[in-house]
Amino acid sequence: MPFVKRNPGAAAADKKPDSLASHFTDLGSPDEEGRWRAARALGGKVEAVSALAGALARERVPRVREAIMTALMRVGDDASILTLLPYLCSQDAGERGAAIEALQALPEAIAPFLPKLFADSDSDVRILATELARNLPAEEATRVLCALIQNEQHANVCAAAIEVLAEVGTDDAVPALQACAERFAGTAFVPFAVSITIARISKTES
Confidence of residue 9 (pLDDT cuts 50, 70, 90): very low
User: Which among 147, 146, 162, 158 is positioned nearest to 183, based on CA atoms?
Assistant: 158
What digits encode the pLDDT tens for the residues 72-118? 999 999 999 999 999 999 999 999 999 999 999 999 999 999 999 99
What digits encode the pLDDT tens for the residues 121-180? 999 999 999 999 999 999 999 999 999 999 999 999 999 999 999 999 999 999 999 999
The pLDDT of residue 18 is 62
**Sequence ranges of the domains in the chain:** 20-105, 107-206
What digits encode the pLDDT tens for the residues 110-137? 999 999 999 999 999 999 999 999 999 9
State the DSSP string of 43-86.
Answer: TT-GGGHHHHHHHHHH---HHHHHHHHHHHHHH-SHHHHHHHGG
What digits encode the pLDDT tens for the residues 49-62? 999 999 999 999 99
State the DSSP string of 151-179.
Answer: H---HHHHHHHHHHHHHH--GGGHHHHHH
Report the predicted TM-score, pTM, of the whole model to 2 decimal places. Answer: 0.83
- CA distances, 87 to each of 26, 90, 91, 128 (Å): 23, 5, 9, 11
For residues 33-54, give the mean pLDDT: 97
For residues 176-196, give the mean pLDDT: 97
The pLDDT of residue 203 is 79
pLDDT exceeds 60 at position 4? no
The pLDDT of residue 38 is 98
Label residue 50 left, alpha or beta by phi (over 0 means left) and psi (-120 to 50 means alpha).
Answer: alpha
Sign of the four-CA dihedral 44, 45, 48, 50 = positive
- CA distances, 93 to each of 56, 87, 128 (Å): 16, 10, 12
User: Contact at 8 Å (CB) between 35 and 61?
Assistant: yes
pLDDT exceeds 80 at position 47? yes
The pLDDT of residue 19 is 85
